[in-house]
Amino acid sequence: MKKYRWLALCLAVVMCFGMLAGCGGSGDAPAETEAAGETEAAAEGGDEAAAPASGDQVTIKFVHKFPEENRMKFFEEVVANFEAANPNIKIEMTAYGDEEIKDKTRVLLGSADAPDIYFTWSGERITQYVDTGNTLDISSYLEEDSAWKDSFNPVMLEACNKNGSYWCVPWDYSSKEMVYNKAVFEAAGITEVPTTWAQLLEDCEKIKAAGYVPIAMGNQYPWVVCHYLTSLNDKMVPKDVIAKNYSLEDPNFTDPGYAQAMDLVKELYDKEYFNQDANSATWEMSQSMVQEGKAGMIYEEVQNLVNYNSALGEEGWGYFDLPEVEGAAGETGYITGGPDVFMVNSASAHPDEAITFLKYITSDEVQSKMAYELGFLPATKVELDPAQCCPGIVDIIEKNLNAPGMSEWLDCVLNQTVSETWLEGCQTIFADDDGAAVMEKVTATAVEVKEDME
């Protein structure tokens, strides 16, 4: 009996120790701390103390947001080519979807499993990681290699400039075009693409009368309407007002142009020019509607044009700029969009290797491969062969280069809390709210956020 009691006691003690070991940090934790210290030294001094010994293989954790089959295949090829040319660097790649990566990056950066290179969008999405010290200042790398710096489209590179330093590199960028199905236009008797908002409404009426959905709308995730507003705010509101509001220098979004922009979108829904299940339809569903000839138009990102070319054939589709609003107080001709960028984690143990990889994926070789195979717009000045590109891409790149500037995605350029309120309004305008009601909520949130900042 006594023997069993001692055995039970020993087991209980073992359980306690096992539990405490489970609650403690992993055995890797001290190494992580050490690595972070090395990074700091390397970043500050630029010395070679942190560099791995020659022949040692280092692993770079790389997180991006292109998990789709063809895009993942592209990245796998790029990584394989890079690893073949750089046998001492192993790339550990993980991809998350569009929505998932917004949360995932935040969680990963706060964990011991933080990536060395991570994806983000531009605007406030860069600032949030810069302000919290999660991003390596890569200005010195760009200055040291001026050819690399000069290879970028300056508008895209400047999106990475905060407080006079560069914190990331652009990899590609996207802009918006109104894509249309030529068969639907023909069935509705439309022979020319609209250039004014009034003409757009007339054409929508014709398409609706012909039995089609005029404009496909998949607003389950409301960034879709938000993209319309990115463009329309520019057309409806003076640039100086926008600059002050977006930066929250003036948190009062009281310029009537903002509400009018929302009401223009609401009108498209109220007149049944959008499919009426807009708020529950996914973005992919809306794309299919145009590709299957059920809808006439869609406000689409240029990087997806290749899908319409595959589905409808070269002669089956076309594109035009979102029409101008007559008499509006804003500017015309701006690019609606923004770059996709990659940042190097300030806690990375291998910043030099991370930069080597970034140089490779922004090289002419990879940038042109990206344009030819994926239909993405390069973030560099690489010269493309039009014959290998999706129709329209080269013309759009040329047009964008001559644009007066870029209006970055509204949900990226704004403070995230203000952006979330606006995004909610992007759905409620299809119900009870109108532009003015939404903008009141946006202003209330912006004022609160600004007070909180102060």
Partner 1 sequence: MSALKRNRMAVLVFLAPAVILVGLLVFFPVLLNIYYSLFKWTAYSADMKFVGLKYYQKLFSDPKIALSIKNNVMYAVVSLIFQTGLGLIIAHLFVTFANTKYAAITRVVIFIPAVISLTAIGLLWVIAYNPSLGFVNAILEAAGLGRFAHDWLGDANTAMMSIIMVSQWQYIGEMVMLYTVGLQAVPTDIYEAATIDGASNWQTFLHVTVPMIRSTILMNMTITIIGAFMVFDEVYVMTSGGPGGATETLATLMYETGFRKDNMGYASAIGVLLFLITFAFSFIQMRLYNVNEMMGRSKES
For residues 63 and 116, what is the distance between their CA atoms, to the nearest angstrom?
A: 8
Nearest CB to partner 1, comparing residues 3 and 5:
5
Nearest CB to partner 1, comparing residues 420 and 440:
420
Nearest CB to partner 1, comparing residues 273 and 360:
273
Query: What letter represents residue 93's amino acid?
Result: M
Q: Is 94 in the site for partner 1 (CB under 8 A)?
A: no
The β-bridge relationship of strands 161-162 and 169-181 is unpaired
Q: Is 212 in the site for partner 1 (CB under 8 A)?
A: no
Nearest CB to partner 1, comparing residues 12 and 53:
12
Selected from 57, 70, 247, 417, the binder of partner 1 by CB under 8 A is: 417
Nearest CB to partner 1, comparing residues 195 and 276:
276
Instruction: Give how far Cα 211 sits from Cα of 205, 216, 293, 295, Å.
Output: 10, 13, 11, 9
Stretch that binds partner 1, among 71-79, 168-176, 277-285, 334-342 (CB under 8 A): 277-285
Selected from 206, 391, 428, 447, the binder of partner 1 by CB under 8 A is: 428
Pick from 222, 220, 230, 377: nearest CA to 284: 220
Length of the chain in residues, anyone? 454
For residues 205 and 19, what is the distance between their CA atoms, to the nearest angstrom?
A: 69
CB 174 within 8 A of CB 377: yes
Nearest CB to partner 1, comparing residues 109 and 355:
109
Q: Is 106 in the site for partner 1 (CB under 8 A)?
A: yes
Nearest CB to partner 1, comparing residues 109 and 261:
109
Instruction: Give how far Cα 67 sits from Cα of 155, 160, 219, 298, Å.
Output: 27, 24, 21, 23
Eight-class DSSP state of 287 = H
CA atoms 298, 304, 308, 311: torsion sign: negative
Quick note: the x/- pattern for partner 1 over 231-270, rule CB under 8 A, is ----------------------------------------
Query: What letter represents residue 288's amino acid?
Result: S
Selected from 7, 9, 80, 243, the binder of partner 1 by CB under 8 A is: 9
CA 322 vs. chain centroid, Å, equals 20
Stretch that binds partner 1, among 89-97, 303-311, 336-344, 423-431 (CB under 8 A): 423-431
Show Cβ contacts of residue 130 under 8 Å, excluding neighbours closer than 6 positions: 162, 163, 167
Using CB under 8 A, list all residues that contact partner 1.
5, 8-9, 12-13, 15-16, 19, 23, 99, 102-103, 105-107, 109-110, 128-129, 132-134, 220-222, 275-281, 285, 416-417, 420, 424-425, 427-428, 430-433, 452
